[in-house]
Amino acid sequence: MTPEDEGSFQLTYQKMQEYISGGRNAIEYSMLLVLMRPRVLTELDDMEMSEMKVLLKKYNEMMVKYESKKDTKSANDEQGAKE
């Protein structure tokens, strides 16, 4: 990267797919952390998990237009398996 390019940022299709996948993975990881807490799940944990499911569903709905058809199909299959 040259000094002239330092302030510029180009988003390639591949990078965009990585960022979308990364966002989805972060939400899923947070859901997993709720399930792995070293105690019995409480009502608050259930509420948190429900909110994360809604967040993941909205995220998938918003990102579908930016993903390739192959990626979208696999994400929808994964979402259906989780519900």
Residues 60, 61, 62, 64, CA torsion sign: positive
Domain limits at 32? 22-73
User: 């591949």: which residue's tokens?
Assistant: 14
pTM of structure: 0.69
Record the tokens describing residue 74, joined without a space.
């696999």
Q: Does residue 2 form part of some domain?
A: no
Q: What is the mean pLDDT of the chain?
A: 84
Chain mean position to CA 21: 6
Structural domains of the chain, count: 1
Q: pLDDT tens digit string along 9-20?
A: 888 999 999 999
> Does some domain include residue 16?
no
Per-residue tens of pLDDT for the chain, all 83 residues: 455 556 678 889 999 999 999 999 999 999 999 999 999 989 999 999 999 999 999 999 999 998 876 554 555 566 666 55
Tell the burial category of 56 from Cβ atoms under 10 Å away from its Cβ (0-12, 13-18, 19+).
buried
Does some domain include residue 57? Answer: yes
% of the chain with per-residue pLDDT over 70 = 73
